[in-house]
Amino acid sequence: MGGTERVSYSIAVRALCEFTAKVGDLDLRFTPSPTALEGIVGHRTVASRRSEGYQSEVALEGLFQTLKVRGRADGYDSAQNCLEEVKTYRGDLSKQPANHRHLHWAQAKVYGWLMCQKLDLQQINVALVYFDIVSEKETCLVEAFSAADLQGFFEQHCRLFLKWAEQEMAHREARNAAAQQLAFPHAQFRPGQRHLAESVFKAISTGRCLMAQAPTGIGKTVGTLFPMLKALAPQQLDKVFFLTAKTPGRKLALDAAQVIIDSADAPPLRVLEMIARDKACEHPDKACHGESCPLAQGFYDRLPAARQAASELTLLNQNALREVAMRHDVCPYYLSQEMARWADVVVADYNYYFDFSALLFGLAQANNWKVAVLVDEAHNLVERGRQMYSASLDQAALNGVRKSAPEVLKKSLQRVNREWNALHNQQPGAYQAYDKPPEKLLQALFTCSASIGDYLNDHPQGLDSALQSFYFDMLQFCRVAELYDEQFLFDISKRDLDRPRNLSQLCLRNVVPAGFIRPRLTAARSTVLFSATLSPRHYYADLLGAPASTVWIDVESPFHADQLAVSIVSQISTRFVHRQASLAPIVDLIARQFGQRPGNYLAFFSSFDYLQQVAQLLAEKHPHIKLWSQSRGMAEGQRQDFLDQFTAQSQGVGFAVLGGAFGEGIDLPGARLIGAFIATLGLAQFNPVNEQMKHRMSAIFGAGYDYTYLYPGVQKVVQAAGRVIRTQQDEGVVMLIDDRFDDSKVKQLLPRWWSVGAANTPCVE
């Protein structure tokens, strides 16, 4: 074994064995495993039962040629000369898949050799200790090994990994060298784009978080990705994560990466797109295990060849990855999860980094990666964060599963229902918020989820889909309940109040996601949150948990006031009570503007009902104006059909809901869109939930109305208006229809480069 050569590649014992010792089927049948906390407690319990000389968490490392292998052995008993690898579990150990046991022994034997080397031992006992967290019973599997045998095993696995490691080192060196020489992929920066790029580079160089408000149209995607790549070598970054809220954002990021890849002297990057499991699944009718899905059967045996083929590609988007997966008969979704370990840039949805069980965040923590994170359209992270950290349970779903559940589970499900009824039967109205979730109900839920977990251990064929779905909802509910504090609301919403036995929904609503987002922001070397709408600064800093050292910049716009005629139509009120009276004046306004300057327009409204009423009246009074409308629940193809109506030659009005699919993230430059009518202030619906949010925001920040209604509303308006001017050649018009736009507080939230005037419009009768 060569220990004198230069060490170039360091890997953890677990990561080494997962690379070299995983064999057989991919098996994702759900079996409840211990939580991280239960695992820690289990390890401590085992250690506490050992003799006085027992050492736990022993740091070990060893060399093989240019490879350094490091890790912490769970325990070593010097009296017994026994190295222990402890695994916590719940359920029936005899049903553990053979390939799991194979992997555990590989880890134990590698630690065994590292311990022999450290203590200069000729032989050692190696024990796999399985600890049942429910019964607290230990099962010990012990084998005696000579140091020579363990050394042979260690070197065999290092050799298996070393070829890959050398390839990865060469890739990284070439990547870093070329990235340092990388030139900006366009002839010149757009106005504002250089300021953005320099600020990003400075943020990552100083290890700070950056919030950048940068107008649409300056090339934010290339302007943020380019400086991150320039920082790969000087900051010794392992990965760049580019996180988006929606599919169009992913496409823009991949297009920007392609522009950089296609430029002269581009670094040899691997850019990976991660997509949702249901969109990547080749066999949606089959379960994720070898007995059901052909792509899961023997997955780990075919993975090395698929991984090698994928590693030779530059752009691993959905289609390219699927092609590799199909050629090697492996699951494309799980191939993408494997390639997340070896890609340089990963383009993925927010939840891959910010969710409770986020894959990218988990990998970064486990492997000590130094990462930089770009958060696109970061204003969306407030609402998405709330969704990720909230939980709800529906009583109709509970009633359904109570009837069909296995007999052994009915008692605990019945107890949940009893506590639920006791709670909502006392509630006089349809909606009620409470200080905290009641203990008795939570106890019933914890007990019930444990019972279902035990049942699943004994019945690996699983549950019917409705019960499994309710079980997952219950696990999320219990998890959020354990984290519940003043940043949350607990409420009960009843429906069918006229029925004698009405049903309800329980909800643990996250109001302020900052507490969960902040640790993810600070775990990265640098996180850049960017959007055209990050004002006011304190609102986003408060709700997203921006660290105190965060830098905030407002990038100057490349556009000029004379490119966009912005008018406030204050004679019309779009409040709900004035809606009927507003229909005819809005139709007249649209028709008059269309007559003065025919072309493509977007008209935004607060709801589908409002939208349909105006569209219907416009069609009746002005049938010569072509119009098309957004409908509820449009599929991706239908959304594309809507956008395809906007061509350079067409003329007409597209009707859309503010804050929906067409209010942001769409690009209609030039004659494809020349104006927008925004007939709403964008305020959230006035309802009991939002009023409770307002009270909670008031208590925390002292600005309940602004934080709940005003700031999110105006942000949607500015995003929608941002669809009109996309290039420095564009000219257009925006009409803000409502008297409340005249309020100085609202005007202060509008972009600085706008010159806002008043429109000449007939008064509402």
Place of tokens 């109305």: 705
Confidence of residue 48 (pLDDT cuts 50, 70, 90): very high
In a domain, 317, yes or no: no
Q: Are residues 603 and 707 in the same domain?
A: yes
In a domain, 136, yes or no: yes
Evaluate whether 149 touches 105 at the Cβ level (below 8 Å): no
Place of tokens 């230990």: 138
In a domain, 311, yes or no: no
- Domain boundary (130, 163, 196) is at 163
Containing structural domain, residue 198: 182-274+340-387+514-554
Q: Are residues 431 and 526 in the same domain?
A: no
258 vs 250: CA distance, rounded Å: 12
Q: Are residues 117 and 189 in the same domain?
A: no
Evaluate whether 452 touches 471 at the Cβ level (below 8 Å): yes
- Domain boundary (488, 523, 554) is at 554
Evaluate whether 112 touches 126 at the Cβ level (below 8 Å): yes
Q: What angle do CA 698, 701, 702 make, to 5 degrees?
A: 50
Q: Are residues 381 and 471 in the same domain?
A: no
Looking at residue 33, which CATH number applies to its domain?
3.90.320.10
- Percentage of the residues of the chain whose pLDDT score is greater than 70: 97
Which tens digit of pLDDT belongs to each residue from 682-731? 999 999 999 999 999 999 999 999 999 999 999 999 999 999 998 889 99
Which tens digit of pLDDT belongs to each residue from 375-416? 999 999 999 999 999 999 999 999 999 988 999 999 999 999
2 pLDDT above the threshold of 50: no
Least confident interval from 124-128, 493-497, 627-631, 648-652: 493-497
- Reading the block at residue 597, the tokens are 């300057």
Which tens digit of pLDDT belongs to each residue from 442-475? 999 999 998 998 888 777 677 788 898 999 999 9
Looking at residue 214, which CATH number applies to its domain?
3.40.50.300
In a domain, 415, yes or no: yes
Number of independent structural domains in the chain: 4
In a domain, 328, yes or no: no
- Reading the block at residue 71, the tokens are 């890790």
Least confident interval from 32-46, 290-304, 337-351, 598-612: 32-46
Q: Are residues 658 and 715 in the same domain?
A: yes
Mean pLDDT of 421-431: 85
Which tens digit of pLDDT belongs to each residue from 258-299? 999 998 788 899 999 999 888 888 998 888 888 889 999 999
Confidence of residue 101 (pLDDT cuts 50, 70, 90): very high
Q: Whole-model pTM?
A: 0.92
Q: Are residues 242 and 380 in the same domain?
A: yes
SS3 content of the chain, % helix, strand, coil (to 5): 45, 20, 35
Mean pLDDT of 620-627: 97
- Reading the block at residue 584, the tokens are 């005819």
- Reading the block at residue 406, the tokens are 């296995």
**The length of the chain, given as a count of residues:** 765
- Domain boundary (554, 576, 607) is at 554
Q: Are residues 368 and 219 in the same domain?
A: yes
451 vs 569: CA distance, rounded Å: 61
Q: Kindly report the backbone phi and psi dihedral angles of residue 564, in degrees, each rounded to the nearest multiple of 5, phi listed first.
A: -130, 115
| Mean of the per-residue pLDDT values of the chain | 92
Place of tokens 């990057």: 269
Give residue 499's pLDDT. 61
673 pLDDT above the threshold of 90: yes
Q: Are residues 575 and 716 in the same domain?
A: yes
Q: Are residues 252 and 236 in the same domain?
A: yes
